[in-house]
């Protein structure tokens, strides 16, 4: 008769029990992974752009007052803390929206100006392009020239430089158009008048302030051309139709 080994039986039973637990634990983890699929998140490289796009959409639908980091995160489908990896607060987010707008506007007017045949034609093209951009991108335009963006331009050199580049392109084109001409207006003075007229028209169009009875039959490009013809008088050129 073989002698029993209580210690060996205990050890063998413990080994089997631990094996069962490990197997069960593995099954549970597998089932849990199958039950709760991983949420598709944004990669670190494009989260910032996604948040800017969502903020821009909110401005277009509800106005800039509707933009909060929490609401932008909710729409983007990320945690409430995720936007803070890129923006300290909503002002910083709106500043990023404005900076993107100024960069796009600058590239847009430069392309139009370079395609023109001469500096005077380039000045006209830039003015029309400015109005077109505002009409086609009203949410961007409102943020770019809103109060919060103006404060950001004073506090942030990067966004300030982006905004200044637009006026610099206009000023340079005016200087080239004035070269060799008998004009009395100072370049900066003329640039201020030109920008005020073009920006004023753009703002009126974006906000729907022009009276349809007077201008309803004209497109934004036609209205911008009216302003451009008026501006050409300041360069000593008789406006043509």
In the chain, the N- to C-terminal Cα span, in Å, equals 122
| Closest of 217, 222, 173, 162 to residue 195, by C-alpha | 173
d(CA 191, CA 132): 19
Q: How confident is residue 215, by pLDDT bands cut at 50, 70 and 90?
A: confident
Q: Does residue 218 surpass a pLDDT of 80? A: yes
Q: Give the pLDDT of residue 232.
A: 77
Class of CATH domain 89-235: mainly alpha
- Is it the case that residue 19 has pLDDT exceeding 70? no
The whole-angstrom separation of Cα 227 and Cα 218 is 13
Q: Is the pLDDT of residue 125 over 90?
A: yes
Decide: 235 and 228 in contact? Cβ < 8 Å.
Answer: no
- The average confidence (pLDDT) of the chain is 82
**pLDDT of the residue at 63:** 93
User: What's the average model confidence in pLDDT over 7-21?
Assistant: 50
3-state helix vs strand vs coil in the chain, percent to 5 = 75, 0, 25
**Of 30 and 211, more confident:** 211
- pLDDT value of position 74: 96
Q: Give mean pLDDT, residues 142-168.
A: 90
Is residue 3 classed exposed, middle or buried when 0-12, 13-18 and 19+ CB atoms within 10 A define those classes? exposed
Using the predicted structure, report yes or no on whether residue 42 has a pLDDT greater than 90. Answer: no
pTM attached to this predicted model: 0.76
Q: Which residues contact 75 (CB under 8 A, 6 or more apart)?
A: 54, 57, 58
Q: Where in the chain are the domains? A: 89-235
- Among 161, 227, 226, residue whose Cα is nearest residue 194: 227
Q: Is the pLDDT of residue 30 over 80?
A: no
The confidence score (pLDDT) of residue 15 equals 53
As a whole number, mean pLDDT of residues 56-60 equals: 96
Of 65-79, 112-126, 145-159, the least confident? 145-159
Q: Is the pLDDT of residue 119 over 80?
A: yes
Q: How far apart are CA 218 and CA 224, in angstroms?
A: 10
pLDDT at 10 over 80: no
Q: How confident is the model at residue 33 (pLDDT cuts 50, 70, 90)?
A: very low
Q: Which of 31-40, 44-53, 159-168, 203-212 has the lowest mean pLDDT?
A: 31-40
In the predicted structure, residue 27 carries a pLDDT above the cut 60 = no
């Amino acid at each position: 008769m073989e002698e029993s080994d209580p210690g060996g039986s205990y050890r063998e039973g413990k080994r089997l029990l631990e094996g069962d637990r490990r197997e069960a634990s593995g099954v549970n983890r597998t089932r849990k992974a199958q039950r709760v699929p991983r949420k598709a998140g944004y990669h670190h490289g494009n989260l910032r752009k996604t948040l800017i796009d969502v903020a821009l959409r909110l401005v277009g639908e509800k106005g800039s007052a509707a933009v909060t980091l929490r609401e932008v995160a909710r729409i983007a489908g990320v945690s409430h803390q995720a936007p803070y990896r890129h923006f300290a607060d909503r002002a910083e987010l709106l500043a990023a929206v404005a900076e993107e707008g100024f960069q796009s506007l600058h590239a847009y007017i430069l392309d139009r100006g370079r395609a023109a045949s001469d500096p005077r034609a380039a000045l006209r093209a830039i003015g029309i392009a400015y109005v077109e951009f505002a009409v086609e991108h009203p949410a961007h335009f409102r943020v770019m020239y809103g109060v919060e963006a103006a404060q950001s331009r004073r506090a942030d050199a990067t966004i300030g430089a982006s905004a200044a580049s637009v006026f610099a392109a206009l000023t340079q084109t005016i200087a080239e158009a004035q070269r060799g001409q008998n004009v009395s207006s100072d370049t900066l003075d003329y640039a201020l008048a030109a920008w005020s007229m073009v920006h004023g028209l753009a703002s009126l169009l974006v906000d729907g302030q022009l009276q349809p009875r007077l201008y309803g039959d004209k497109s934004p490009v036609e209205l911008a051309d009216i302003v451009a013809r008026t501006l050409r008088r300041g360069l000593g050129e008789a406006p043509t139709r």
